[in-house]
Amino acid sequence: MWVKPWNMKEGFLIGGGLLFTGVLLQVVLGPIDWDLLAWPVNLVLLVLLLVAVGTLYALRRKAYAVGWMMHAGAAVPCLVYAASLTILMGLLPQVCVGGIPWLSQMLRFWPFVLIWTWMMLISALTALNHLLRWKVREIPFLLNHLGVVVAIVAATLGNADIQRLQLTAFTGEPEWRAADETGMVHEPGLAIELHKFTLEEYDDGTPRRFASDITVYTEDGQNVRGTVEVNKPLKVNGWKIYQYGYDVRYGAESPYSVFQLVRDPWIAWVYLGIFMMIAGALCLMLFMAPKPVKS
């Protein structure tokens, strides 16, 4: 062990070290509070991450470990830890409070987050390496590794910036106040007027379609008329408006309709990562394994 060239054993030890560090952090700091990452903290973290990746990459010839991180031998142990913790998360009930200490709030568990961060670091270094040593036939490899980093980093850092509000609009009365999860009232900068709520049912009484015919008035003077239904949100001024609920006591005669308003400033980056991954998977499918593997 620790004899060059390093392979998987060293990776398992480093991962073990991360788990141990994570447990210490969990004991000292308690579970991770993701809300602390809200703008501009997430921007600072992003810059730190980019600087870290750049610095590590510059040191790749001096520091043996950095060169090793860009090999599959480093990826395997990291993925094994990530998969194991994710399986554990799937086996144990995940609840907001209570449950099994630490493990029932896996997303706030330091070892879980450290392992995923390690995975992103490895993947980012590998992607950077392939980006700088550009070769056309390595494009699929680059798309897969860069795509996963862009999607997961943007999703994780951007999570605290997502605004999710509920707005209840009664027929014919423009409503501009919306409540967040804690019940606090916000003004999202637009008003929704409900013209008509529609509920259609199948013969057996199960719902077929919920839809709300609305006009959205924005602060900058736009009037947007449209229909919002499940799977068909309306996009106005950076907000996505979703059909969320209605007064179930009245059914089709519901006097109001409930909308969910979602704003996610980082979404474009998440989509970029997702599309890179789709393109990468497409290449994987079309070109398969190029060379036979020794048995």
Partner 1 sequence: MSWDSFFWYALSAVLLWAAGAFFAWKEKKMGAYFCTLAGIAVFFAFILGMWISLERPPLRTMGETRLWYSFFLPVAGIIVYSRWRYKWILSFSTLLSFVFICVNLFKPEIHTKSLMPALQSPWFAPHVIVYMFSYALLGAATVMAVYMLIRKEKTTEREVNLTDNLVYVGLAFLTFGMLFGALWAKEAWGTYWAWDPKETWAAATWLCYLVYVHLRKAKPAEWRAACVLLLVCFVCLQICWWGINYLPSAQGLSIHTYNVK
Least spacing, CB of residue 207 vs partner 1, in Å: 6
102-109 CB contacts, 8 Å cutoff, 24+ apart: 102/26, 102/31, 105/31, 107/32, 107/34, 108/31, 108/32, 108/33, 108/34, 109/22, 109/26, 109/31, 109/32, 109/85
Burial of 281: CB neighbours in 10 Å, binned 0-12, 13-18, 19+: middle
Least spacing, CB of residue 238 vs partner 1, in Å: 13
* Closer CB to partner 1, 256 or 259, in the complex: 259
* Closer CB to partner 1, 23 or 283, in the complex: 283
Distance CA 118, CA 193 (A): 48
Binding-site ranges for partner 1 (CB under 8 A) = 7-8, 71-73, 75-76, 79-80, 82-83, 86-87, 89-94, 107, 155, 164, 202, 204, 206-210, 229-233, 240, 242, 260, 262, 267, 270-271, 274, 277-278, 280-282, 284-285, 288-289, 292-295
Distance CA 86, CA 103 (A): 10
* Closer CB to partner 1, 81 or 256, in the complex: 81
* Closer CB to partner 1, 138 or 173, in the complex: 138
* Closer CB to partner 1, 74 or 220, in the complex: 74
Read off the tokens for 214: 């609305």
* Closer CB to partner 1, 136 or 288, in the complex: 288
* Closer CB to partner 1, 151 or 194, in the complex: 151
Least spacing, CB of residue 60 vs partner 1, in Å: 18
Least spacing, CB of residue 11 vs partner 1, in Å: 9
Least spacing, CB of residue 232 vs partner 1, in Å: 8
- Answer whether 72's CB lies under 8 Å from 46's CB: no
Least spacing, CB of residue 75 vs partner 1, in Å: 4
* Closer CB to partner 1, 203 or 220, in the complex: 203
